[in-house]
Structure 1
Amino acid sequence: MKDAYEVINHTLVSLINEIWELEEKAIITEEFKDLTNNDMHVIEAIGLGNGGNMSAIAKKLNITMGSLTTAMNSLVNKKYVERHRSEEDRRVVFVRLTAKGVRAYRHHEDYHRQMTQAILDKLDEKELPVLLKTLDALDEFFTGYSQKEFAQKKDA
């Protein structure tokens, strides 16, 4: 069992680091050289269409409003995002992607599609439920760990 633990642990740590590094190389092309990985994930959280309000996006990214405001200021200055205040409540700020932001979103989305398709191409129908169960367990761990960390920081 220890061998399986070591292999799984090593693979997970390597994958996390490699995905982060490779994603940056894949998505930060000449057209998007002014963006960081974090910028791309903010763009992804804003999404297509009418966008959303700042507090909902901060919650989705699990970051503070201050951190999101800093990121948004940068993305607005780079012309990927536009923001406007609510007519009903001037405290509420809405953001949405510009045409340039939509191109960045689509580029990032394509990278994720290729990554996911590469995995699906290697699996047969019997293997897919095992992968889904494994990914679900990882998601539960990260969600639970994140919530536990947030609660501990809040209590401190």
Structure 2
Amino acid sequence: MNDAYKTINQTLVGLFNEIMELEEKALTGSSFTDLTNNDMHVIEAIGLEEGNNMSKIAKKLNITVGSLTTAMNSLVNKKYVVRKRSEVDRRVVYVKLTEKGIQAFLHHEEYHKKMTEAILEKLSEEEIPVLVKTLDALTDFFNAY
């Protein structure tokens, strides 16, 4: 293995672990201590707009509707989410963030904003497209894997 490969591999693995750990610390240092990282990612996938159904959210998270149902039960019990069955098709369940859920979403969004700004402030205008291209390649890898 050459040095560039080792460096990139170590950096990617380290970044992934650090991001997960820091996201957890951001939650535990807030008023949302009852949320897990997984809970927060479900809240993020629900988003602020209306009309999200379970199938759409599960697809966005790349999980089964059954797995999402388990996570959703917890979020409903914690009062971050409300569910409502469709009047037209009772099989369809819509979910929406409560005011508490919206506050958690905004808190998480602020964490992501700070993380992104910390990166962008270190880069020149010429370096930003290179980073975007690199991240696109990484995204393509994950989507194809």
TM norm structure 1: 0.90
CA distance in 2, matches of 1:87, 1:29: 40
Query: What do the CA deviations read for 1:31-67 (whole angstroms, capped 9, x no partner)?
Result: 1011000000000000003150000000000001111
State the identity %: 72
- In structure 2, the partner of 1:106 is 106
- In structure 1, the partner of 2:18 is 18
Q: Which aligned runs of 4 or more in structure 1 are off by greater than 3 angstroms?
A: none
- In structure 2, the partner of 1:45 is 45
**1:28 positional shift:** 3.1
Within 5 A, what are the aligned runs for 1:63-102? 63-102=63-102
Partner-residue secondary structure (3-state), 1:73: helix
Q: Counterpart amino acid of 2:72?
A: M
**Are residues 103 and 119 of structure 1, via their aligned partners in 2, closer, same or farther at CA, if it must alter by over 3 Å?**
same
Residues 86 and 94, structure 1, Cα contact 8 Å, conserved in 2: yes
In structure 1, the gaps of 5 or more residues are: 146-156
In structure 2, the gaps of 5 or more residues are: none
Partner-residue secondary structure (3-state), 1:45: helix
- Say whether 1:143 aligns with 2:143: yes
Q: Counterpart amino acid of 2:109?
A: E
Q: Counterpart amino acid of 1:55?
A: S
TM norm structure 2: 0.97
Instruction: Tell me how large the CA RMSD over aligned residues is.
Output: 1.0
